[in-house]
Structure 1
Amino acid sequence: MRRGGHEAPHDTPRHALADEAEGYLLAHAHRDQARREAEELCARMPWLTTAQAEEITGHYVRRRLDVTRELLRGTVRRAEELRQEYESRYAELRHTLLRRHAACACALLACAGGVSALAVLLTR
């Protein structure tokens, strides 16, 4: 579901471009947040030289982005697993429902045939 409350196709170029732009903006916002956190950390260590503070900031940002990337990959993997589980369960439920409807239709036809045969016998 998209934000509008309706299902949107993800294979259209327009949606792919919008998703890519959103991802780009989120990645930059996350990187900026990591940089701010690193700068705050370095500010609490006044004995660091400028070069050391820049090195720590760069290392912190790279590490934070690596961790975030791994978390997102794990989330994507889990989402795919859940999607497959839900699709298989949906197919199973759909198959069961179809069998039950077919059984009910057969029973209904058998009853209608029985009533029809009884009506023919009673009219003789």
Structure 2
Amino acid sequence: MTAEPPASPHACAGMLASQVEGYLLIQAERQQALRDAAALCARLPWLTSAQSEDLTSRYCEQRVHLTHRRLQAVATRADQLREEYEARYAALRRTLLKRHVVCATLLLICAGTLSTCSHLMPH
């Protein structure tokens, strides 16, 4: 069992900010769901108070759950894209480095050849 190194203060602050942001997003969604449920119940005047409260509760629960699932799917996809882009970036960096090495090698060969030719030619 290996111990993980302690997280940096910046990483902890970033995680805390993400958690707060998630909490605020869910709270905003919950408030919007309450407003939408109230509007729905207003269009159904035959509901009793208990039925209206039950419908509002179930609607909000379902909507917050759905929003949570959608946010998780978006976060998962964002992680996948980041991994794909990081892998592509690393591959491009390797290719660029190889090309620079080839160009530098050719440049050195040409310089060496020119230097040798200039010493062999009579002045």
TM-score by length of 1: 0.85
Distance apart, 1:12 and its partner CA: 2.8
Q: Which residue of 2 aligns with 1:37?
A: 36
Kept in 2, the 8 Å contact 1:38–1:56? The answer is yes
Aligned equivalent of 2:103: 104
Secondary structure of residue in 2 paired with 1:12: helix
Q: Which amino acid aligns with 2:40?
A: L
Structure 2 stretches of 5 or more lacking a match? 1-7
> Could you tell me how far 1:92 is from its partner in structure 2?
1.1
What is residue 71 of structure 1 aligned with on the other side? Answer: 70
Unaligned runs of 5+ in 1: 1-8
Decide whether aligned partners of structure 1 residues 78 and 15 sit closer, same or farther in structure 2, where only a CA change above 3 A counts.
closer
8 A contact 1:10–1:16 mirrored in 2: no
2:53 matched to which residue of 1? 54
Q: Distance in 2 between matches of 1:22 and 1:79?
A: 16
What's the RMSD between the two structures over aligned residues?
1.8
Give 2:23's aligned amino acid.
Answer: Y
Higher relative contact order (CA 8 A, sep 6+): 2
Give the structure 2 partner of residue 23 of structure 1.
22
- Give the TM-score, by structure 2 length: 0.86
Q: How far is the alpha carbon of 1:80 from its aligned partner? A: 1.4
CA positional deviation for 1:27: 1.2
